[in-house]
A and B are shown apart, each in its own frame.
Chain A
């Protein structure tokens, strides 16, 4: 039972390069999320998708784009990477979007921008 799978696990980019982080879940969840985790900051929501075909901005969306490819997959794209985007990125999913529903997390993508 894989749950939420993120690829790649590690990536190093140069400033200005582009990159797509992939996320897939096998729990038939409707809602998916992208967070970034920085030291001392906890997790901050970048974008979310309440259901297939919809996406919305979270707390820190600048510099990112997302695509909900189908019900299983939700990708995060950095069009022109900046050092400030060095972070650990987590994808999560939940059955529906709702404050009472727990989210299930992938193992993260560790991204360094030089």
Chain B
């Protein structure tokens, strides 16, 4: 069965430091992969998506993610974190079947220290 694992429940990063959030997926075919961000009290906003082609994808707010098929990973990165990046981040995989179009990981909460 398809699944998404985000190994880190909570990460704290200093403002200005680099960030990497980990995501591993389990899916038999080529996956469609997404990263969403959720600010407190808000809904989810799409950061970026991977379908095919270049394995390094750029998203909004300065985020990027790299698809590594050999490692079944789709890690999210940002070179320099801003305090406003504090939020919860969800990795999701498109499962390819109607109705289960997105399977979410359990999320990683990012805190930014000054």
CB of B37, distance to nearest CB on chain A (Å): 11
> Is residue B76 within 8 Å, beta carbon to beta carbon, of the partner chain?
no
Q: Is the CB of A103 within 8 A of B102?
A: yes
Q: From known contacts A40-B9, A42-B90, A42-B107, infer whether A99 and B101 are also in contact, taking CB-CB under 8 Å.
A: yes
Cβ contacts under 8 Å, A44 to chain B = 104
Question: Which of B34, B100, B106 makes the CB contact (< 8 A) with A58?
Answer: B100
Q: Size range of the interface on B?
A: 20 to 34
Q: How far is the CA of A100 from the CA of B102 in the complex (A)?
A: 9
* A38 closest partner in B (C-beta): B106
Question: Which of A41, A99, A105 makes the CB contact (< 8 A) with B97?
Answer: A99
- The B interface is mostly helix, strand or loop, or mixed, namely loop
Q: Is the CB of A97 within 8 A of B43?
A: no
Tell me which residues from 16 to 64 in chain B have a Cβ below 8 Å from any Cβ of chain A.
32, 34, 36, 41-46, 49, 51
Cβ contacts under 8 Å, B9 to chain A = 40
Q: From known contacts A4-B43, A99-B32, A105-B44, infer whether A43 and B99 are also in contact, taking CB-CB under 8 Å.
A: no
Q: Is the CB of A99 within 8 A of B99?
A: no
Q: How far is the CA of A81 from the CA of B82 in the complex (A)?
A: 41
> Is residue A82 within 8 Å, beta carbon to beta carbon, of the partner chain?
no
Cβ contacts under 8 Å, A106 to chain B = 43
> Is residue B81 within 8 Å, beta carbon to beta carbon, of the partner chain?
no
Top 9 closest pairs, chain A to chain B, by CB: A99-B94, A105-B43, A42-B104, A42-B106, A99-B96, A105-B44, A43-B104, A97-B98, A100-B32
What residues make up the interface of A, taking CB atoms closer than 8 Å to B?
4, 31, 33, 40-45, 48, 50, 56-59, 90, 92, 94, 97-108
What residues make up the interface of B, taking CB atoms closer than 8 Å to A?
4, 9, 32, 34, 36, 41-46, 49, 51, 90, 94-102, 104-107
